[in-house]
Amino acid sequence: MTTALVVLDMLNDFIGGVLANDAARPTIDPIGRLAERARSTDDWIVVYANDAHHADDFELEVFGEHAMAGTPGAQVVAELAPRDGDIVVPKRAYSAFTATDLDMTCRVHEVDRLVVVGQHTDCCCRHTSYDAFVRGLDVTVVSDATAVFAPFDPDSVTQRQQLALDYLRTYYAADIVKADEVF
């Protein structure tokens, strides 16, 4: 069986663009290290699940235009650029499973566990974790490789991150670990 490292929305628009998030910057290094390790480990795959929005996607009502398909803002940040062999899944909603081919990708690779990193912990990470949970997949979420969206309330980033992780542990039986505990 296979573990999929799922990197969510580490895109230019989500780091320094229209949805810039200072809380996500410290996650770049640990995500990079995890991806590197995963690529060199048997029975692991690296999956990038990237917003690639079309005009009128439902989410744009909430966040405005961001990560529009084909634009530089929808590209993975240079530090984490996908490598040969990585799988890139474009998505148009919060969950990496919604109307994408991630489900089939998981079947083809006999994935039984997702290790979730990226952003936002309480949004795309949460919805992706739910969809993994209801498919019978084990979920691990990396606490120092995920981030909430700081601009919603910069004063409570730490608290919101903790609440988001607690939710994932409570409702989806997610293992919450630090990056150096994954391997």
Binding site for Zn ion (CB under 5 A): 51, 59
- DSSP letter at 23 equals G
Give the max Cα distance, the chain. 43
The residue at minimum Cβ distance from Zn ion is 51
Minimum CB separation of residue 94 from Zn ion in Å reads 7
Distance CA 17, CA 36 (A): 25
Report yes or no: 145 and 34 within 8 Å, Cβ to Cβ.
yes
Nearer to Zn ion, 60 or 176 (CB): 60
Nearer to Zn ion, 60 or 137 (CB): 60
Nearer to Zn ion, 117 or 179 (CB): 117
Q: Whose CA is closest to 9, among 24, 22, 23? A: 24
Minimum CB separation of residue 92 from Zn ion in Å reads 8
The angle that helices 157-172 and 124-133 make with each other, rounded to 10 degrees, is: 10
Minimum CB separation of residue 101 from Zn ion in Å reads 18
Nearer to Zn ion, 66 or 113 (CB): 66
Minimum CB separation of residue 24 from Zn ion in Å reads 14
Q: Which two tokens stand for residue 106?
A: 């998981």
